[in-house]
Structures are given as structure tokens and as C-alpha cells.
């Protein structure tokens, strides 16, 4: 039994035209100078008539609701609604409300609806897809490793069914299918990230990914440590040689036609830093260092589920970075796949070493686009904080990915690759060093290192999601603590944009 394959799915999402036998009604509030007002729900006048809307508004104002984004207010339900209670969620100012605002509000409501069997909502009247994604992801819980002592009791379990009010039969059917597929893919990525490294080491990670891919009818290839050695994958082997759990490289192919997109994800199942060991404080969060791999695998499966008219080839290197008598040392020189030699100055800059092998291998497929995703540098968080991915690469494609990411709410930001920093990666004994001799522009230097392995012909984007892929703070919107699933939604939106060309 595997945690990822057997995880509990999120709430059932269905369209409905009436409140029916729901336990809870979720409505939206917006702010105004005169206090909160009900969000526009003109399409639901048959469900919430004028008198009912007036009663709801009076009740939320009486208890001090403001309508601020994600604010939650629970009030008694008017008898005619037939629900146990009403949950009002703030949407902020109506003139500033966008798709992401609906998604965040739905997520906040989804997190709050524990112990509820069925909820029905009017938020779907604002944006059906965003409401569906928000409720599903907000309700997400990862409890696979909880024993009976600490597993959520009935009153703490997530909502089981969310009914999304729509104006007529058939309305939004394709939107709901797409949004549920996206939400489930994000949840799959979260599950991978949240699974502890004792249960998700390279061999097991590759096997679980292969299980999901084969179930979806996709082509799968896994290279073990012997095949990696015989084929010259020096970066992956160098990083993984300190662990008793040998590395892997998995390739998953969805053949949906032209163009061809290569996706690459960093799969360090746990990162101690190796001989250049990390401080003990917070090291447990390095279970998330395979967040890029998780996102890439989930996105490839999602592209197949959505039948996108393009080909996606995922090349995912997996290793565990451990210190031992067999680990690589600072000062070692390794030979990457393709022949480039690298002086390892810092063994904690390991992600770029396994990515370099994967980039060269992926380039042999002659893709039109290449996107690599990694929890790569602490410098990403220093520069952009914990919620904003950095995007580097060929300028036009970099800007395109950043724009798309901002449109769907993951908010990646375009970053430069300054030519003057490349000289700082010079090595006295090898073709290139894996780090610069200073801490300035660390995210950018990592991008410049990867650029050395990208062919000139391909349109390339590198996403550094070191902070955004894992939330160590409190829950917000549709993001809980732990794995976030970033940047699955950016990747699938980019693939859809490419397919639409």
C-alpha cells in the first residue's frame, strides 16, 4: 500500500441548481462604505429571493462582519433555506475582486467546513472554476501517517461534498472538469511532498510515479544506479553516492502531438547538505526538496488527463543527499551527462548537479520548450520571499511564463541572468564550479549554471520555488501547512497556452 496511490480524495464537487439537502450554505460578502454587502448572485434569485438576501445581510452585519478577503462569519440560517447554518466568506472590495480572490475565499471556507457532510455555495456564480479549486484545495488534509490516536475525529474531517450553484443544467461542465482535474493534480503533488523521506526515497518515489503514469496509459522509463553509471549521469550519481538509497532517473512521456515540451523537476527526496551539512534547525523541512519533481510528475499526468494537443516528456532525477564515508566532497570533480566537468565547491548546491544531467538528456529529445522546476536556492526566498517563485531563462519565454503564473495566482516573477555573474562560476580545475565564491545573486548564479546545459535552440524557463513549494507558516486561502503544489497550476496553464498557439 502506498501513501500517494491510496490517499483520500478531496471533496466531491458537483453542479446544482438548488440548495437541496445541504448542511451549510456558503455565501460571499464584499466590502462597501456602508458595511458588507452580499456578492452579486443575480443568477440565483430563485434560490435566494429578496427577503432571504435581506435577512442574511442583516444577520452578518449584526455580528460585525466586514467582508474583508477570507473573513469568515457563521450565522444561523433562515428557516426557509433548510440548512443548519450559513457561512459567509469575505471577498474584499467588489471592484478589486478577481479569480484568485474567489479561489482564496473558497479555500478559506473549505478549510473551515470541517465536520460537514454537504455544503452548497453561491461563490460558483462569481467563478465556477476558481470556486471549485478553492474548496477542494482548502479542504485538503494529509493524514496518511496519523495513528488512531491523532487522526481527525468526525468533527475535524474535511467537508465531503461541495455543491456549486449554477444557473442551468450543463452550465460550466467543462470548467468544472478542468478545475477538479487541476485541483487533484495539485493535491497529488502535495501528497508527494508531504510524504516523509523515510517512506519516499528515490527508488520508492520513482516506483510510485511510475504506478500513477502507467495507470494513466503513459510511457515510463526508470534508470537505476547501474544504468545511470553506465550511461554517464555523473551529477545524479555524485549527489546520491553518500546515501544507502541509490538514485534514480524517471522519464514519463505523454505523446499528444506537436509541439514538444520537456519538463524537468528536482527530486532530492531529502537534503542534509551532504558534507557541507546544513544547520539542524529547520532541516526537517528538507523533506520538501523534491517539490519540483512532484509538480512536474503531477503536471504530466494532468496534461494527459486533459488530453492537451502536445507532447510532454518529464525527465525527473531523484537522489538523497547524505553525508557518509562514500559522499562526494567539496573539491571533487564530477563529469555530468554529456561530458561537462564540474568542480563541487559546496555539496549543498546539489540540485543543479542533478538538473544539469536531466537537462542534457531532455535536450536530446529536441523539445521546442524546456521548463525546469526546483526548490533550488535559499537565495530565492531572500530575494522574493516565501510565496513568489523566481523565473529565469530565455527572455521571451521567461516573461511569458511569469505573466501566465501571475494570471493564475501563483505570481512568479521574472528575474535576470546577468552576464557578469557567469565569471564567478569559473573553476581552476574543471569546466565550471557549482557555486560562486560569494553569496550575492545566488538564485541568479544557479540559473546561470543551468544555462550552461541548455541548448540554444530551445525556449527555456527555470522556476525556483524554494519557498513557494512548502508552507512552514500558518494556513492562508487555499494553502495549508506543508506542501503547496506550486507550481502545478503555472505549468499546466503554460502548457495550455503553448497548445493554443
Active site residues: 278, 352
CB-based burial label for 42 (10 Å; 0-12, 13-18, 19+): exposed
140: helix, strand or coil: coil
Calpha distance 386→380 (Å, rounded) = 8
Calpha distance 371→460 (Å, rounded) = 6
Rounded to the nearest 5 percent, the helix, strand and coil shares of the chain are 35, 20, 40
Q: Which residues pair with 85 in a beta bridge?
A: 24, 76
Calpha distance 381→71 (Å, rounded) = 28
For cell 460585525, the residue is 64
Contact 450, 352 (CB under 8 A): yes
DSSP letter for each residue of 24-68: EEEEEEEE-TTS-EEPP-GGGTTTS-HHHHHHHHHHHHHTT----
Please report, for the chain, how many H helices and E strands are present, in that order. Answer: 13, 21
Residue 19, Cβ neighbours under 10 Å: how many? 22
Contact 122, 27 (CB under 8 A): yes
- How far apart are the two ends of the chain, measured CA to CA in Å? 42
Give Dmax over CA atoms of the chain in angstroms.
80
Helix axes 173-194, 128-138, angle to 10 degrees: 30
DSSP E strands in 274-412: the ranges are 311-321, 333-335, 341-343, 369-374, 390-393
169: helix, strand or coil: coil
Residue 285, Cβ neighbours under 10 Å: how many? 14
Calpha distance 253→211 (Å, rounded) = 13
Contact 166, 124 (CB under 8 A): yes
Phi, psi of 148, deg, nearest 5: -60, -25
Calpha distance 125→49 (Å, rounded) = 15
Cis peptide before 377 (omega within 30 of 0): no
DSSP letter for each residue of 444-484: HHHHHHHHTTS-TTSEEEEEE-TTTTEE-S--BTTB-SEE-
Cis peptide before 463 (omega within 30 of 0): no
Contacts of 279 (CB under 8 A, 6+ apart): none
Amino acid at each position: 500500500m502506498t501513501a500517494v496511490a491510496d490517499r483520500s480524495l478531496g471533496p466531491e464537487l458537483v453542479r446544482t441548481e438548488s440548495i437541496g439537502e445541504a448542511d451549510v450554505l456558503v455565501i460571499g460578502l464584499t466590502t462597501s462604505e456602508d458595511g458588507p454587502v452580499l456578492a452579486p448572485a443575480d443568477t440565483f434569485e430563485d434560490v435566494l429571493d429578496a427577503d432571504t438576501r435581506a435577512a442574511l445581510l442583516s444577520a452578518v452585519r449584526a455580528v460585525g462582519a466586514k467582508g474583508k478577503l477570507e473573513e469568515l462569519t457563521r450565522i444561523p440560517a433562515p428557516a426557509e433555506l433548510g440548512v443548519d447554518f450559513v457561512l459567509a466568506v469575505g471577498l474584499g472590495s467588489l471592484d478589486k475582486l478577481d479569480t484568485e480572490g474567489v479561489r482564496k475565499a473558497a479555500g478559506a471556507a473549505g478549510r473551515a467546513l470541517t465536520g460537514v457532510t454537504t455544503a452548497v455555495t453561491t461563490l460558483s456564480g462569481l467563478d465556477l472554476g476558481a470556486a471549485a479549486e478553492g474548496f477542494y484545495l482548502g479542504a485538503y488534509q494529509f493524514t496518511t501517517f496519523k495513528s488512531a490516536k491523532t487522526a481527525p475525529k468526525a468533527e475535524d474531517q474535511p467537508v465531503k461534498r461541495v455543491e456549486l450553484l449554477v444557473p442551468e443544467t450543463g452550465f460550466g461542465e467543462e470548467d468544472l472538469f478542468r478545475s477538479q482535474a487541476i485541483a487533484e493534480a495539485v493535491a497529488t503533488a502535495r501528497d508527494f511532498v508531504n510524504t516523509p523521506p523515510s517512506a519516499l526515497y528515490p527508488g520508492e518515489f520513482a516506483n510510485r510515479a511510475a504506478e500513477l503514469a502507467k495507470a494513466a496509459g503513459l510511457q515510463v522509463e526508470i534508470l537505476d544506479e547501474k544504468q545511470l553509471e553506465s550511461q554517464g549521469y555523473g551529477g545524479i550519481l555524485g549527489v546520491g553516492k553518500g546515501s544507502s538509497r541509490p538514485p534514480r532517473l524517471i522519464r514519463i512521456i505523454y505523446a499528444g502531438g506537436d509541439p514538444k515540451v520537456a519538463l524537468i523537476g528536482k527530486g532530492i527526496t531529502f537534503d542534509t547538505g551532504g558534507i557541507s551539512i546544513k544547520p539542524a534547525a529547520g532541516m526537517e523541512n528538507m523533506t520538501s526538496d523534491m517539490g519540483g519533481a512532484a509538480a512536474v510528475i503531477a503536471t504530466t499526468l494532468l496534461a494527459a488527463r486533459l488530453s492537451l494537443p502536445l507532447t510532454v516528456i518529464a525527465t525527473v532525477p531523484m537522489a538523497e543527499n547524505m553525508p557518509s564515508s562514500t559522499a562526494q566532497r567539496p573539491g571533487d570533480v564530477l563529469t555530468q551527462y554529456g561530458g561537462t566537468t564540474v568542480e563541487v565547491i559546496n555539496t549543498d548546491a546539489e540540485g543543479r548537479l542533478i538538473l544539469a544531467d536531466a537537462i542534457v538528456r531532455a535536450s536530446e529529445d529536441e523539445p521546442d520548450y524546456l521548463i525546469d522546476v526546483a526548490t533550488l536556492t535559499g537565495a530565492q526566498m531572500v530575494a522574493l520571499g516565501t510565496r513568489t517563485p523566481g523565473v529565469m531563462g530565455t527572455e521571451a519565454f521567461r516573461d511569458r511564463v511569469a505573466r501566465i503564473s501571475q494570471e493564475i495566482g501563483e505570481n512568479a516573477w521574472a528575474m535576470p541572468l546577468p552576464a557578469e555573474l557567469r565569471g564567478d562560476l569559473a573553476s581552476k580545475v574543471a569546466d565550471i564550479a557549482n557555486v560562486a565564491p560569494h553569496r550575492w545573486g545566488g538564485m541568479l548564479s544557479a540559473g546561470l549554471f543551468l544555462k550552461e546545459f541548455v541548448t540554444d535552440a530551445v525556449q527555456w524557463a527555470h522556476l525556483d520555488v524554494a519557498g513557494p513549494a512548502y508552507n512552514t507558516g500558518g494556513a492562508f486561502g487555499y494553502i495549508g501547512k506543508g506542501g503547496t503544489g506550486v507550481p502545478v497550476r503555472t505549468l499546466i496553464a503554460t502548457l495550455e497556452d503553448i497548445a493554443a498557439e
